[in-house]
Structure 1
Amino acid sequence: MHDDAHAAGVTRAGAAFAARRAELRMTVQDVVDSGALSKSALVNFENGRTWPRDGNRDKLERLVGLEEGALTSLYEQGAGMSRQDQTEGLVRAGAAFAKRRDDLNITQVEVAEQKIMSVQALIAFEKGRSWPREMRRAELERLVRWPPGTLASLRNAAATPSPDLDGVSAEPPADPSTLMLDAVKLALTSALDKLKALPADDAPTFIAEARPVMASLRSLQALASRAVRANIGSVSAVQTLEDITACFEDLMGRVAAHPAASLGQKLYVARRKRHLNVQEVADILDMPATTVAAVEADEQELSDDYRERVEQLIRTLTFLKL
C-alpha cells in the first residue's frame, strides 16, 4: 500500500480510537495499565504515526468496547482518503470549533487567557493549518461544552461510509439502547469480580492493581449514563448507574486513603464528600476547571503554588464537620 494511503489509514483509526477513549473518559494511563499498549505506542497510534500489531489491536478494541476488527475496518476506510480529504478534515474541525466559539461569545484572547493555547496556535487550528494535541483538544471541547471526542469525529466525518442499504435486514434490529444496558450489566459483573480480587487496602500494590478497575468503572459510568438517557423511565438503567457509581466512589475512597494516593485522587474524594463539582472547586482555587479535571485524572502536574492551594483545600474539606 502506498505510504500516503497507509498514513491516512493509521490516522483515521488512531483518531477514531482517541475519540472513543475520550468519550469513555479513559486516560492514556488507563490504556497503559490495561497492557494493551505502552504510553509512547499509544500516543504514536492516536497521532497516526504507527499501526499496532494484531494482538494489540484486539486488546484496544475490547478495552473500549469496539467490535472485533473495527480498527482494521477504520484503517481500510481511511486508506482510501486522499490527501485533500485529510486537509478538508482539519479545515472542517477548525471551522466548526470557530463557529461554536463565536456562538458562545468566547474570543480567541479569552481562550489564550485560560492557557489552553496561544492566539496564534488557535488561529492556525481554526484555519485548518494545525491539529492540537489530545489534552488541548479535550480542553477546547470542555470550553465550548462539546462531548469528548467531538473534534476528532469532525475531522474524520468525510471518511464516514454511507449506510449499505442493500444489506439491510428485513427483520427489525434489536433495540441498541437495550443491548447497551445489557452489555453494561455484564461488564459490571466482571468489574465486581476484579474488585473483590484486589489486595488489602494497605498493601503496597493496592493502588497499582486498583487503577485498571477504576478505569473500568469510570468507563462503565459513561456507558451507563448513556443507557439511562436512551432508556428514559427505566428503573433498571438508573439502578445500574447507581450501582456503578457507588462502587466507583467506594473504591476511590479506599484509594485516596492509601499512603501512595495521588493529589488528584485525594482532591476528588474530598470534594465529592462535600458535594462540590469541578467548577466550584476551580472557583475556590482560582484555577481553570479544565486544570482541576486534569489533576483529578492524574494527567497534569501542578506548579508549587497551585499544589499548595490544592493541599490546603483538601485539608480544609477533610476536617470540616459534616
Structure 2
Amino acid sequence: MKARITGVATYLPERTLSSAEVERRIEGYVPQRGIVERLTGIRARHVAHDDQQASDLAAEAARRLDHDGADLLIFASASQDMVEPATAHIVAAKLGLSCPVFDVKNACNSMLNGIQVAEALILSGAHRRVLVCSGEVPSRAVRWRVRDRTQFAESFAGYTLSDAGAAVLVTADAGRGIFYRAFAADSTAWEVGTLPGGGSAHPRDEEYSYFRGDGRRLREAFELAGPDIFRNALKRTGLGWDDFAVVAVHQVALPYLRVLAETLEIPADRLVVSLPEHGNCASATLPLQLALGGWRPGDRVALLGLGGGISTGVLLAEM
C-alpha cells in the first residue's frame, strides 16, 4: 500500500497588494522606493478580508476537493486562528466533518510535514483518506509602523508574505503514490526568524506580535544546511529532475531561488515560479505550485521544502 496525493486545491484571496503599495503603507521610516520588489522579485501578494481567519482560507481550499469520506483532518500551517483549540477543529466544523483532527506546525514546511504524517498514518493502516489543509494569514503580523532602518530590515520578511489557503487529499492506493521522503533540521538557528507573541515566552506583549528576522543570517543558515538532502533524493532513487513533471520549491526571494535552482541544476521548464505574482505563501507555497503546475495523473512531482527553525525536506511522489 502507498499514500497517493489524489487532490490539490488552493484558495487565493482576491484582494492583492503590490510591493509599491506595501512601501507606501509603511509609516514612520520611509523605505527606498522599489526596494521590496528589487530584493525579492515579488510584484504582488494576496491579503485576506478582515473577517477571514486561517480556518476560513483552509476551508475554502478544501471545499474545492472531494473530501467526502475523509477519516482524518490535519491542519498544517504556520498560522492559526487561536492558541487553543487546534485550528483543525474549527476547519472541520466549517466543513461539516466529524473525523479525528489535529494540527501540525513547522513554519513554511508545515504542509510538507502534514503530508509526511498523513503518509505515515496511511502506511500504518490507521487511516485511508486524509485531508491536509493550510490557512496562512501572515498579513496580520506585518509591522506597518516602523521606527528606523534597523527595524525595517528586521521586519522585512513580513513585507514578502502572502495570505493563502491550500488543501491536499492523501489517499491509500495499491499502485502509486509517495515513494521517497527525507527531512532535516538545524534547530540551533531557531532565533533567526520568529513571531514571538502568543506563546508562553511573550503571551500578551503587542511588541512581539510582528514578524522579525535576519535575512542574511537566515540565508547563511540554509547555505550551511546545504543542498545534499535534495541531491541525495535523486541519487537514492536513480532519477533526474527531467523525470519530474513539476519541481516545486519553497520560494522567499527570486535571487535565492535562482541560486538554489542553479546549484541543483533544476531545468527551468520543470520549476514552477509562483513568487512574483503571489508572494511568499508560507506553507501554502508548495500546494500552490502543484496547482499551477502542468502535471497529469501518473506523473512524478518533487516537493522541496525550506522552513524557519530551520528545517529542510523533500518528498517525491507519483501522482
| TM-score relative to the length of structure 1 | 0.25
Higher helix share: 1
Larger radius of gyration: 1
Which structure has more RCO (C-alpha within 8 Å, separation ≥ 6)? Answer: 2
Higher strand share: 2
